[in-house]
Amino acid sequence: MTTLAISPAQRDALARWLDHLRALNGAAPNTLTAYAHDVTGFLAFLASHHGGGEGLAAVAQVDQSDLRSWMAHERGRGVAARSLARELSAVKNFVAWVADREGVDATSVLSARGPKYRRKLPRPLTVDGARDMIDTVGAQAREDWIAARDIAVVTLLYGCGLRISEALGLTGAAHPLPETLRIIGKGGKERLVPTLPAARDAVANYVRLCPHDLTRDAPLFRGQRGGALNPRLIALVMEKARLQLGLPSSATPHAMRHSFATHLLSAGGDLRAIQELLGHASLSTTQAYTAVDATRLMEVYEKAHPRA
């Protein structure tokens, strides 16, 4: 299909909708970029599907037939079910926003069902695997301060459940690490995360050895030349460590955060409390860890009680 330019009215509405999400919902820049791409693609399809450029009224009058045709087109392009579900969510949100301003009932669009897909369960490390990972990460670097840095970062991922972007987003003002750390997560959402003594000690050791001037407003974690630490370097050092330990390819920086959540849940942690610690907007996201816990429990049971 030849992509047609969307109408000026639609472009204006899209810009205003994104501004709305940015101002009222605190949507993150990456999220807004993805939404803009998804909705622009839908509007271009709509223009082609109906045989020409259309104004805002056409958006407000989108029905389930339009959505089904668009979803069939996307699947035909090879868009996976999970990605299409995300696109549909953005499109439904935008169409509902336009319909509300045009005085049109968007119930039909909002009730449209997306493609079914199987959610991927998080793949955490075992408790011993997480500890071994932290220890082995520190053995990769030739310089003591870099080893201490890598240990500190991975300890924050596992000990505090931080995303890699959140750990590397810390500034010098975070040192010394307080007992409760204030984190700005996805969408600018703020949360408080308790810090374990092991995490505080790891960060303190890194700061003591770091040759760069860690001012309050500059990044806490630095690269070899003093710039902000690239997250890819942490991924690489963990890759080397997992190969040495014989761990699966799923043993990534994000797996340390999954491990944090799963081990808390296994120890009797409250699901709501874990949701707050992780900064999940929806409890359904956190509930994936209950499935992980149940799966691992069955694995242990089957090993202990093999079928005859």
The DSSP line for 244-307 is HHT--TT-SHHHHHHHHHHHHHHTT--HHHHHHHHT-SSHHHHTHHHHHHHHHHHHHHHHHS--
Ramachandran region, residue 125 (left: φ > 0; alpha: ψ -120 to 50; beta: rest): beta
Question: Annotated catalytic sites, by residue?
Answer: 163, 186, 254, 257, 280, 289
Residue 63: CB atoms within 10 Å: 12
Of 195, 222, 198, nearest to 210 by C-alpha is 222
CA 27/CA 35 separation, integer angstroms = 10
- The encoded tokens of residue 41 equal 């693609």
In the 8-state DSSP scheme, what is residue 190?
E
CA 159/CA 154 separation, integer angstroms = 8
CA 4/CA 25 separation, integer angstroms = 30
